[in-house]
Amino acid sequence: MAAPVSGLDADTSAPVIILVRPQLAQNIGKVARAMANFGLSELRLVAPRDGWPNPPAYPAASGADWILNDAKVYPTTAEAVADLNAVYATTARPREMIKTVETPRHAGQSMRDHGLAGRRVGVLFGAEAAGLTNDELVKAETIITVPCSPDFTSLNIAQAVLLVAYEWFQAADHTPGKQLASGDARLATQDEVEGFLLHLEEELTLSGFLRPPEKAPHMKRNIRSIFQRLELLDQDVRTLRGIIKSLVLFGRSAGKMKH
């Protein structure tokens, strides 16, 4: 077992994950892995069935050992949430209880907002089969329910933690939804694209492709629409101009050979 890493540098604005009566050590390990993926570090265990620490949790954590090393055990859910300002609980089953219900996406943002306001946040996850009791659900101000296929609603505990942690992380992530990963290359300028298109049109006029002349404008528009749909990089423009040159030269040399 690795030496415990101190939790002192942990992000206290991040939600605490609280597993209530967890059963399989492997699932506890997978929860730790999912937490590490999305920057969470504080894990609390309420009355774990097989005690704690529990060595089989480690291989399932795939290296997120520091979370398992720092996990704290509580005898009751009440004690596990005593120091928290805001408590969420995950459940798929609506009970006869009046509760605010949030999607994981909304909860990701509302947990961030609590953290920014300096409040400590925790999320309760029930045991594998039994879930949370009504008495435990009452301790939470907010229920998180994952919208999913009505035909197949069973999410395991590690999947539920993964989705909540994912949404918490995404709420503060600024990765562009869509971007062109182009290494050192940059998007071509309009001038460079236009230079290529004029080069192509010139060679296609010479080669006789743009005939009859009255159809040439329409054909040119079609050709332009192919290349202008692309986000051409500077290096793409150089490559395309090289291709034109090469095809023209090959055609000329082939022509010479024929004669």
Footprint on this chain of its own copies (rule: CB under 8 A): 33-34, 36-39, 62-64, 94, 96-103, 105-106, 110, 143, 145-149, 151-156, 159, 162-163, 166, 169-170, 173, 175-183, 185, 233, 236
Closest CB to its own copies among residues 24, 80: 24
Measured CA to CA, the distance from residue 101 to residue 185 in angstroms comes to: 46
Rounded least distance, CB 164 to its own copies, Å: 11
Look at the alpha carbons of 167, 85, 155, 103 in this order and tell me if their dihedral is positive or negative: negative
CB atoms within 10 A of CB 76: 12
Buried b (16+ CB within 10 A) or exposed e, 139-168: bbebbbbbeeeeeeeeeebbebbbbbbbbb
Cβ closest to its own copies, residue 144 vs residue 210: 144
CA distances from 177 to 16, 170, 250 (A): 28, 11, 43
Residues ≥6 apart with Cβ < 8 Å to 199: 241, 244
Between 77 and 145, CB nearer to its own copies: 145
Cβ at position 91, least distance to its own copies in Å? 11
Token pair belonging to 156: 């395991």
Helix, strand, or coil (residue 142): strand
Q: Which is nearer to its own copies, 35 or 45 (CB)?
A: 35
Q: State the minimum distance, in angstroms, from the CB of residue 68 to its own copies.
A: 13
Cβ at position 73, least distance to its own copies in Å: 23
Using the minimum distance from each CB to its own copies, give the nearer residue, 130 or 148.
148
Shortest Å distance, C-beta 212 to its own copies: 35
Name the residue nearer to its own copies (CB basis): 153 or 253.
153
CB 62 to its own copies: min, Å? 6
Q: What DSSP character marks residue 54? A: -
